[in-house]
Amino acid sequence: MESWLKESGAVGLDDLKFANFPATGRGLGSRRHFKEGERILTLPSSILWTVEHAYADSIIGPVLQSMQGALSVDDTLAIYILFVRSRESGYNGLRSHVEALPTSYSSSIFFTDDELEVCAGSSLYTITKQLEQQIQDDYQTLVERLFGQYLDIFSLGKFTIEDYKWALCTLWSRAMDFVQPDGKSIRLLAPFADMFNHSSDVKECHVYDTSSGDFSILAGKDYEAGDQVFINYGSIPNNRLLRLYGFVVPNNPNDSYDLVLMTQPEAPLFELKQKLWVSAGLDSVSTISLSLNDPLPKSVLQYLHIQRADESDLAIIALQQIDATDKTPSNSNEVKVLQALIESFCELLNNFGTQMEKLDEQLAEGFYPPGTNAWSAAHVSLGEQRVLRLARKRAEDLLAALESGNRVDSGFSAPLRCAHCAKVAVQLMLCGRCKAVRYCGRTCQVAHYKEHKELCQAIASKSGSVKK
């Protein structure tokens, strides 16, 4: 692989070497001193795995391009990798990269039932189960649309579901995403650079040059010869690390719980509520990440206030969203929301197969041998329960404050802004009908009317300013 990379114009390979490190397994070590910020590796655009390169391939490109409804980025790249791996000749450079890839992964999708059961009740458990089903469905679609249609290209036995899962895990654990100046994102897999392991102790140091398409790694800190060189994959919680990368960081400060909030369309006042969720940046199905730093984000309370609102609460929430008057939702709604939330947190915590104290004990006693899948699952479960307990405590504190008459900001104030263009301004004109929304001028009011009409009527009739 290295000679192919050098011939293609890669710079910096001689200063790095493959090595096995006790904590992380295979990675890259430095052969000399690197100063923080110094460019240590540059790979030319031509050797990167990208969707664009898959489309440009003379064999697989026309097939991909002829498909009705483009494949997802990950499916395109996964198929490209499997295609190159299946070739008996040609593609020597890319094939040398594929040969250097791990033969198996420890993403949670490969866990046995017993291993996954260790984190039963966690959001990782649910997402992993859903993902397994999703992968099977996606694979079936690929067989029907692609593998079964072009048997000359997709050799039998080299595009099985196990191969597909392996290729997906290759991408999840090694591909990187960058946003380009036009706002579009690019996902790429960089041979050799995908051998750097992760450390949160180094600065973010991978760079994509959008004009040349070249990819570089800078030193994320000072290194001496012989040190392992790291990159920083980002602030990732253990549940995500285990699902995508197959490892965990004990006591991960980024741990989180993915709380799924949903409301059925049959619920009363659903359409009005949907509008309010959308204008609060939410949706009727919202997944909100609770974290150790912010165990109860305001968006959770915003969602639930809308979900549990009756007609008069809805009108008040609409007013608050738009004109930021400090009218708070009715006390009963807020109390209802917090009580229901505490109850849900208790239920979620009870659903964990093994409670936190027991897991702590088991980990301390070495019940799960360190580094095994069950040990990783135990750390995910611990992290998620820690977050949920903090969230429950926060909701309990808010409820106690409310009941004792000390209101605490639960996330409703917003600056005065135009309901159409969102411009924040002091001089805004009120909608004459509902007296609830504000505009920076007549043009915005007219442009917004169609969207505003339904809520306008609802608020106006509620406040008695206009008869229906």
Ligand X SMILES: C[S@@+](CC[C@H](N)C(=O)[O-])C[C@H]1O[C@@H](n2cnc3c(N)ncnc32)[C@H](O)[C@@H]1O
Q: How far is the CB of 109 from ligand X (least distance, A)?
A: 13
Q: How far is the CB of 236 from ligand X (least distance, A)?
A: 11
Q: Which residue has the tokens 């209802």?
A: 336
* Of residues 161 and 195, the one with the C-beta less far from ligand X: 195
Q: How far is the CB of 195 from ligand X (least distance, A)?
A: 5
Residue length of the chain: 468
- Given 24, 96, 274, 330, the residue binding ligand X (CB under 6 A): 24
* Of residues 199 and 263, the one with the C-beta less far from ligand X: 199
* Of residues 23 and 151, the one with the C-beta less far from ligand X: 23
Q: How far is the CB of 410 from ligand X (least distance, A)?
A: 38
Q: Put the strands of the sheet holding 197-198 in their side by side order.
A: 16-21, 25-30, 228-231, 197-198
192 close to 5: Cβ distance less than 8 angstroms:
yes
Between residue 194 and residue 253, which ones bind ligand X under the rule CB under 6 A? 194-198, 245-247
Q: How far is the CB of 252 from ligand X (least distance, A)?
A: 11
Q: What is the DSSP letter of 159?
A: S
Q: Find residue 46's DSSP bridge partners.
A: none
372 close to 111: Cβ distance less than 8 angstroms:
no
* Of residues 99 and 360, the one with the C-beta less far from ligand X: 99
Q: CA-CA distances (angstroms) from residue 194 to 36, 69, 189, 228, 465?
A: 20, 30, 7, 14, 64
Helices 298-307, 311-323: axis angle to 10 degrees equals 140
Give the count of beta carbons closer than 10 Å to the beta carbon of residue 61: 15
Q: How far is the CB of 296 from ligand X (least distance, A)?
A: 30
Q: How far is the CB of 203 from ligand X (least distance, A)?
A: 16
Contacts with ligand X by CB under 6 A: the residue count is 15
* Of residues 24 and 328, the one with the C-beta less far from ligand X: 24
Q: For residue 131, report the phi and psi dihedrals to the nearest 5 degrees.
A: -65, -40
- Given 17, 26, 35, 203, the residue binding ligand X (CB under 6 A): 26
- Given 27, 297, 329, 383, the residue binding ligand X (CB under 6 A): 27
* Of residues 100 and 429, the one with the C-beta less far from ligand X: 100
Give DSSP secondary structure letters for 320-355: HHHH---PPPPHHHHHHHHHHHHHHHHHHHHTSSS-
Calpha distance 100→5 (Å, rounded): 13
- Given 25, 148, 234, 250, the residue binding ligand X (CB under 6 A): 25
440 close to 418: Cβ distance less than 8 angstroms:
yes
* Of residues 229 and 300, the one with the C-beta less far from ligand X: 229
165 binds ligand X (CB under 6 A): no
460 close to 450: Cβ distance less than 8 angstroms:
no
Calpha distance 384→257 (Å, rounded): 5
Q: How far is the CB of 256 from ligand X (least distance, A)?
A: 18
* Of residues 145 and 187, the one with the C-beta less far from ligand X: 187
Q: How far is the CB of 52 from ligand X (least distance, A)?
A: 22
* Of residues 198 and 336, the one with the C-beta less far from ligand X: 198
Q: What is the DSSP letter of 88?
A: S
Q: For residue 258, report the phi and psi dihedrals to the nearest 5 degrees.
A: -90, 105
299 binds ligand X (CB under 6 A): no
* Of residues 24 and 274, the one with the C-beta less far from ligand X: 24
34 binds ligand X (CB under 6 A): no
* Dihedral sign for Cα atoms in the order 384, 387, 389, 395: negative
Applying CB under 6 A, which part among 22-30, 209-217, 252-260, 457-465 lies near ligand X?
22-30
Between residue 86 and residue 105, which ones bind ligand X under the rule CB under 6 A? 102
Residues with Cβ within 8 Å of residue 132, at least 6 apart in sequence: 109
> Which positions touch ligand X (CB under 6 A)?
24-27, 102, 173-174, 194-198, 245-247
